[in-house]
């Protein structure tokens, strides 16, 4: 394989980007980051490595940051990243670049693209302040709008300035990121499963953290949550709720992604190496 793309995606936006890039690049394998949760190290042995994932709380999702720590990277490997977000990427790509540098690699190109909102949570005052501080957010474009710009950079292994939000919102977001991620872990304590649950198990199958166990078919949450929303957004009954959900928010998943595309069942290492897409 010329290229490996590691992706994390809960509602499909990032998987859709990863798949479009893989198709356009050719000879590319795409691999789901949650499948590596139980691994101690991940050897990213390819000439070109891509990382595609959503922005969570102005930074990397916890599962992605942990994955980067496991990476074994050859200095000569060209690494690129595309992060999907609604409006504010903060310093996500700078944090990724720093993490890769600590591992002996580097981020050659980092793009932030606009995508539909996966979170159903109400915005709080901090969200609003950071949004107000970010003058660049209105200029954010979708992957579709930027594909002809991104593809040649990645294809030709060109360097591209790692993209950031405006300075103030980047700094503010970075300061709050760790605290926010920690609070996400136990947000599932307030998840309520209503009586429409038909005990199908989809939520448990799709949880990237293995954070859901079924008891008589109904989910119980184990407080190691990413707040990724996969369980909520893919539930056929929309039965999982949180008191802080926006009352007007509708259930969302990417129209080109099926739930079977996202099954995160963690695989043993031999299975991973035999798969073309997992
Ligand atoms: C817990 C959580 C935190 C998020 N934080 C941000 C954020 O800080 N900035 C932003 O623009 N979008 C944020 N989003 C929106 C997602 O980054 C965006 O919808 C992304 O495209 C989802 O990707 P996916 O469909 O691949 O899961 C957040 C979403 C979730 C679930
Ligand atoms: S996906 Fe929804 S309906 Fe299925 S078990 Fe989970 S909560 Fe119940
Ligand atoms: S419990 Fe739901 S929100 Fe939390 S990590 Fe699992 S799928 Fe994501």
pTM: 0.94
* CB-ligand 1 contact for 227 (6 Å cutoff): yes
Which residue of 118, 175, 184, 264 sits with most ligand 1 atoms within 8 Å of its CB, as the best mutation to test the pocket? Answer: 118
* CB-ligand 1 contact for 64 (6 Å cutoff): no
Nearest by Cα to 110 from 153, 147, 67, 73 = 153
Of all protein residues, whose CA lies closest to atom 8 belonging to ligand 2? 197
Nearest by Cα to 88 from 1, 173, 186 = 173
**Which ligand is in closest contact with the Cα of 92?**
1
Report residue 30 as tokens.
Answer: 């795409």
* CB-ligand 2 contact for 202 (6 Å cutoff): yes
* CB-ligand 2 contact for 224 (6 Å cutoff): no
**Which ligand is in closest contact with the Cα of 137?**
1
Q: Which domains does the chain have, with CATH numbers?
A: 3-177 (3.40.50.360), 184-274 (3.30.70.20)
Residue 249 CA to ligand 1 center (angstroms) comes to: 14
Taking only the tens of pLDDT, the chain with its 278 residues reads: 899 999 999 999 999 999 999 999 999 999 999 999 999 999 988 999 999 999 999 999 999 999 999 999 999 999 999 999 998 899 999 999 999 999 999 999 999 999 999 999 998 888 788 777 777 777 899 999 999 999 999 999 999 999 988 887 778 888 899 999 999 999 999 999 999 999 999 999 999 999 999 999 899 999 999 999 999 999 999 999 999 999 888 999 999 999 999 976 544 322 323 333 43
Residue 196 CA to ligand 2 center (angstroms) comes to: 8
* CA 258 to centroid of chain Cα atoms: 16
d(CA 173, CA 88): 9
**Which ligand is in closest contact with the Cα of 34?**
3
């Amino acid at each position: 394989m010329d290229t490996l793309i590691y992706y994390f995606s809960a509602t499909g936006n990032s998987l859709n980007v990863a798949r479009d890039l893989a198709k356009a690049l050719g000879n590319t394998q795409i691999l789901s980051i949650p499948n590596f949760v139980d691994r101690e190290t991940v050897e990213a042995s390819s000439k070109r490595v891509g990382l595609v994932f959503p922005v969570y709380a102005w930074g990397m999702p916890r599962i992605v940051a942990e994955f980067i720590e496991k990476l074994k990277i050859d200095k000569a490997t060209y690494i690129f990243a595309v992060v999907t977000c609604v409006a504010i990427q903060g310093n996500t790509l700078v944090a990724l670049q720093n993490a890769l540098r600590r591992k002996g690699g580097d981020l050659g190109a980092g793009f932030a693209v606009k995508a539909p909102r996966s979170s159903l949570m109400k915005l709080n005052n901090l969200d609003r302040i950071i949004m107000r501080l970010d003058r660049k957010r209105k200029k954010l474009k979708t992957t579709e709008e930027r594909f002809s710009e991104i593809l040649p950079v990645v294809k030709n292994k060109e360097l591209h300035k790692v993209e950031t939000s405006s300075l103030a919102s980047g700094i503010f977001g970075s300061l709050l990121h760790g605290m926010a991620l920690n609070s996400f872990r136990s947000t599932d304590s307030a998840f309520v499963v209503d009586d429409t649950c038909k005990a199908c198990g989809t939520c448990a199958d799709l949880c990237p953290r293995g954070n859901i166990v079924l008891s008589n078919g109904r989910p119980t949450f184990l407080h190691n949550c990413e707040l990724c929303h996969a369980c909520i957004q893919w539930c056929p009954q929309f039965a999982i709720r949180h008191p802080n959900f926006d009352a007007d928010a509708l259930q969302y998943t990417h129209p080109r992604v099926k739930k079977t595309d996202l099954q995160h069942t963690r695989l043993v290492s031999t299975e991973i190496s035999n798969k073309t897409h997992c």
